[in-house]
Amino acid sequence: MIRSFLLGVICLLVVGCATTKSVKKGYQLNEATDKGVFVASISYQGGYSGYSIRFSASNGQSSGQIEFGKGMSLIPIPPKGDYSHIGRKGQLYVVELPAGDYTVFGWQVASGYATTKPQMPISINFKVQPGKATYIGNFDFVQTSGLGLTVTGVEVNYTEQSNIDLEVLKRRFPNINVSDVIMGIKPSFSMEGIGGENSTSWNMPMVIM
């Protein structure tokens, strides 16, 4: 039982390891393949936690998530991210996927032993085209409640911020031509509070004496 408890704690400490990673800096798009990329950013205002966006293929054959930060860390030091030069906490993601239709169906905040999710479904559709890059926008998490260092409530705003994000794309991924990026979100688009109200659940480890 003690061994099972320790394994559970280790699993919590590395929460977020199953997230989908960005492509490497030297990545090049190739129209001869059946894959493309989507470009999106995650930012947050509030306490350090693991902020993630979840997506799935419309055919139901695959799903994934992008996450900024960690839900459980020994020392809660926020990563530098891509926007520290403008006083913003967050990161840009460039994720390679098979060509097809996808949907952002949810978000999550992992904060210590607390997990916060939206109560209403989300449906943000985007398309990945072979050998192309599609920008789908920014997801900004704004903390609305907490318990000590634990984030227990957020509002998630979805906006078009290509003027900021594509500058980061140009700097971090020089082989992707910004002028060729497809806009998967309307100019100046803004939607506040996607997913509506949220609920928090607690997953406290059982201590065996």
Q: What is the 3-state secondary structure (H, E, C) of 11-80?
A: HHHCCCCCCCCCCCCCCCCCCCCCEEEEEEEEEEECCCCEEEEEEEECCCCCEEEEEECCCCCCCCCCCC
Query: What's at 146, amino acid-wise?
Result: G
The per-residue b/e assignment along 90-118, b for 16 or more CB within 10 angstroms, e otherwise, is bbbbbbbbeebebbbbbbbbbbbebbbeb
Residues β-bridged to residue 57: 102
- pLDDT at 5 exceeding the cut of 60: no
Q: Give 29's pLDDT tier (boundaries 50, 70, 90).
A: very high
Could you give the percent of the chain with pLDDT greater than 70? 87
Tokens, residue 169: 């794309």
Instruction: Give pLDDT, residue 74.
Output: 62
- pLDDT at 122 exceeding the cut of 80: yes
**Nearest Cα residue to 173 out of 96, 88, 94:** 94
Instruction: Give pLDDT, residue 98.
Output: 95
DSSP for residue 144 = E
Instruction: Give pLDDT, residue 7.
Output: 36
- pLDDT at 187 exceeding the cut of 80: yes
